[in-house]
A and B are shown apart, each in its own frame.
Chain A
Amino acid sequence: MTIQLVRRDTASRAAMVSAPILALVLTCLTSLVLFALLGKPAGTALYALLLKPFLSWYSFSEILLKTAPLMLIAQGLAIGFRANVFNIGAEGQFIVGAICASAFPVFFPDGTFPLMLPAMIIAGAIGGMAYGCIAAGLRTRFGASEILVTLMLSLIAAQILNYLLLGPWKDPQGFNFPQTVMFPENAMLPLLFEGTRTNISLIFALIASGLAHLMMQHHFSGFQLRISGLAPRAALYAGFNGNKMIWISLALGGMAAGIAGASEVSGPLGQLQRSVSSGYGYAAIIVAYMGGLRPIGIVVSSFLISIVYIGGDNATVTAGLPVAAVEVFQGLLLAFYLLTFTLIRFRIEFTPSQSRGNT
């Protein structure tokens, strides 16, 4: 018996919408078994993972807080992914953005610098963009794979962060903790809702989503990026500049990650810490793909992934799940999503092998 994947003539819109839902259901079913095998209360765990985040206004606002950086970074990454430029190092660009933004409050801890907040956001954007552009330069000049370069630059960024926090930027009154001073009031992003930590970086992310949609669907530059990804030889045929696509992709991806980094230090953290990112740069890759690399899809997927994150934290506390189990849950979600997404585009065909004829 042979099993083949046959491309469908058309992918229905209903199937596109139901794929993430089906993925979620499959993930839950598998997790129930998994949690039960671990000897944990499976029902409680799922409840904590998926429902509890919605049961209080505060935990819901925490979802929104996590949604903002994921959405912003994923929008930037998706632009590159659609052009087949694989920026895997948003984590590093995020850290560099956070460092650049932190320079202002670190050097003006009393808040005497005018326009502190705009300067931080712009510095974060430029820092992240410049860091992404290193990979673009190496790719266009020497043909170095941007996948490897961005990934390795992330490790370097983490070391630069360590150096600064253990040395020159360490808070003198910080009991030797690797962190900077607490930022002054004028270095903090305004909150969206009183009593929560959700700040206007969510607005940044939504604006970025709108701009990304405008660019990819209605602007020629987005069209060129899409062609470069779908049919590189058609891009060459039409004379689209391949190097320009690489620069745009990495610059925008880096910029978005940089702004997200700046927003994190001037938002929930209020200082530069070692754990500034908590893996946003990598999670955003999942977010981008779960959103189908479409700006509107990413708005939804960033929200879904942050539910899972917040729920994961809940589950480790209430159901006593090990952190690894939560990570497995997140991994399952991505794997099932990719599976269902494949089945939208392809159908499985079984061909039973017949008995041989009278040859």
Chain B
Amino acid sequence: MSDHSPALLTLNDVSKRYGTVQANKGIDLAVRAGSIHAVLGENGAGKSSLMKMIYGVEKPDSGTINWNGTPVHLNKPSDAQALGIGMVFQHFSLFETLSVVQNVSLLVPGKQAELADKITAFGNQFGLHVDPDAMVHQLSVGERQRVEIIRCLLLDPKLLILDEPTSVLPPQSVVMLFKTLRSLQAKGMAILFISHKLDEIRELCDEATVLRRGEVTGHVDPRTQSAADLAKLMIGHEIPKLTKHNNTPAGDIALQLRGLEHPSKTRFGTSLKSLDLHLRSGQIIGIAGISGNGQQELAALISGEALCAKADMITILDQPAGRIGASQRRALGFSFVPEERLGRGAVPEMSLADNSLLTAHRQGMLQNGFIKRKVERSFTDACIADFDVRTASPENEAGALSGGNLQKFILGREIMLAPKVMLVSQPTWGVDIGAATAIRRRLLEMRDQGAAILVISEELEELFQICDILHVLSEGQLSEPLDAATTTAQDIGAYMIGATE
């Protein structure tokens, strides 16, 4: 595995454009056998479009892709698979109603009984234990990922691409995944590891290609670089610091969940089981855990998009609120930033100004039901200016904004409502590091001004940065409250797994 072994895959001057967006420009990349190669970049830096070209989902506009030194044209994923390229997607492509071995047999030729034996054998060899006969919907996210990896491995790939594999895993499972990847590396496999998490890359990878705005900003050995160096390559400047002072003592209870029960209406939804939570004003509580463990259900119940069985299961500012709708809860002083921006937090076909009206209509925007365009416009202008929303005009359609910019707009709008209680779901999904820090700082400011904030997030680092108290939501059950100052990521991980094992 010397540094001079020939490159298995090389990309020369590869460019790709989608409409007006230059996703990749002049990308050079070389991946050697027996190497774990990181592709590092922020959301929107062009990592996904690059991988799509390597996996044959998209074709480059210009440049060449070489396999073992010869140029190849990949028109579809099966072309890439024929070469020996396997890919594990961030969002899994498994059928939940089928068993593990059935899912595998859809892609891998062979009798199911033989495949089941192979699955077990691979599991033992690489630490990817999973029951071949289990139904996929019964599996945890980590186990599903193992199924995806095994399915790739059974096709005997020479290059394995993993797209943000750790974003769905609790910390303990990350350790196991890394062990697996190192043993694959030892067998001479090349691995492309896509991530924006600097510490992971420094721990695991021996080469890294850093992307920023579709261009390569560096080929480095991550083991010799500090996290700050990598961040600088990735975002072009240093990561702004965030400090959490908690001078204000927590006040009265602003949001209370009392024995919140909610049976799932669909087969694959999560039932919430007797949730208890006290959120005080001047406090940020974080709900940690992987999405799909009841996060969506909880957010909808608190926001009023779904109603509780009993009114007193949720109390907002001393008012039983479990049976009233979203609009009445907002009238009590509640606001909410949902995880989906398009189609829920904002209407893509409408202008930003009209999207202000969506939830800010109580801010004097109506007179006898008629819309006061001036007020609507000045609110929108203020939101765009205060929250650094990059857009040409408030008349632009919300759908034309990038995900991060739209998130800043929605968050700004909800903060400008001056809520006493706020629920923020996945505050920084798809937002670049600079903007994410700004968002977190805003939330801390609001807390200092006495707002009660509940944050549901998958990003543990983020929760530790801003929260006073943490709960873990796993399989529809909420852990006891944990003091964020004295809790470690490993503790949180134990709660994430705890409910299952």
Q: Name A's B-contacting residues (CB within 8 A).
A: 9, 218-221, 223, 226-227, 230-231, 233-234, 236-241, 353-354, 356-359
A-chain residues with CB within 8 Å of residue B71 when the two chains form the complex: 357-358
Q: Which chain B residues in 319-346 approach chain A with CB under 8 Å?
A: 325-330, 336, 338, 340, 343-346
Within 8 A of A (CB), among B346-381: 346-350, 354, 357-359, 361, 366, 369-371
Q: Is the CB of B326 within 8 A of A236?
A: yes
Residue-wise, chain B 296-310 has the 8 Å CB interface mask toward A (1 for contact) of 000000011100000
Are B369 and A239 in touch, CB under 8 angstroms? no
Nearest chain A CB to B19 CB, angstrom units = 6
Asked if residues B325 and A239 are in contact (CB atoms below 8 Å), the reply is yes
Smallest distance from the beta carbon of B163 to chain A beta carbons, Å? 23
CA of A238 to CA of B328, assembled, Å: 10
Starting from the known contacts A238-B327, A358-B72, 10 additional A-B residue pairs (CB-CB under 8 Å) come to A9-B19, A220-B361, A231-B343, A233-B340, A237-B303, A239-B328, A241-B327, A356-B75, A357-B79, A359-B72
Q: Which residue of B lies closest to A232 (CB)?
A: B343
Which residues of B approach A to under 8 Å, CB–CB?
19-20, 59, 70-75, 79, 82-83, 303-305, 325-330, 336, 338, 340, 343-350, 354, 357-359, 361, 366, 369-371, 400
Instruction: Give the CA-CA distance A237 to B344 in the complex, in Å.
Output: 6
Determine which of B329, B330, B371 lies in contact with A220 in the assembled complex, contact meaning CB atoms within 8 Å: B371
* CB of A16 to closest CB in B, whole Å: 15
Residues of chain B within 8 A (CB-CB) of A237 are 303, 305, 326, 336, 338, 344-345, 358-359
The contact of B370 among A220, A236, A241, A356, by CB within 8 Å, is A220
Known: A239-B325, A239-B326. A234 touches B79 (CB 8 A): no
B305 and A236 contacting across the interface, CB-CB below 8 Å: yes
Query: Could you list 7 examples of A-B contacts with CB < 8 Å?
Result: A220-B371, A234-B358, A237-B336, A238-B326, A238-B358, A239-B327, A359-B72
Contacts of B79 in A (CB 8 A): 356-357, 359
Q: Which residues of A contact B305 (CB under 8 A)?
A: 236-237
Q: Shortest distance in angstroms between B323's beta carbon and chain A's nearest beta carbon?
A: 13
In the bound assembly, the distance between CA atoms of A233 and B366 in angstroms comes to: 23
CA A318 to CA B347, docked complex, whole Å: 52
Residue among B20, B83, B369 with the highest chain A CB neighbour number at 10 A: B369
Q: Which A residues are CB-close (under 8 A) to B350?
A: 226-227, 230
A233-B344, A234-B344, A237-B305 are known contacts. Are A218 and B371 too (CB-CB below 8 A)?
yes
Contact call A354/B73, Cβ cutoff below 8 A: yes
Residues of B close to A221: CB separation below 8 A = 369
Chain A residue contacts of B361, Cβ below 8 A? 220
Contact A359 B327 (CB under 8 A): no
Give the residue name and chain of the A residue nearest to B80 (CB): A359
Q: A219-B371, A237-B338 are in contact. Are A227 and B347 (CB under 8 A)?
A: yes
Closest residue on chain A to residue B350 by CB atoms? A230
B340 to chain A: closest residue by CB: A233
Q: Hey, which chain A residues are within 8 Å of B304, CB to CB?
A: 239
- What is the CA–CA distance of A219 and B357 in the complex, to the nearest angstrom? 11
Are B73 and A230 within 8 A (Cβ)? no
Which chain B positions have C-beta within 8 A of A234? 343-347, 358
Contact of B83 with A359 in the complex, beta carbons under 8 Å: yes
Cα A219 to Cα B366 with chains together (Å) = 8
Given contacts A219-B370, A237-B305, A239-B328, contact A356 B344 (CB under 8 A): no
Residue on A nearest B78 in the bound complex, by CB: A359
- The complex places the Cα of A353 from the Cα of B72 at a distance, in Å, of 15
How many angstroms between the C-alpha atoms of A75 and B326 in the bound complex?
A: 31
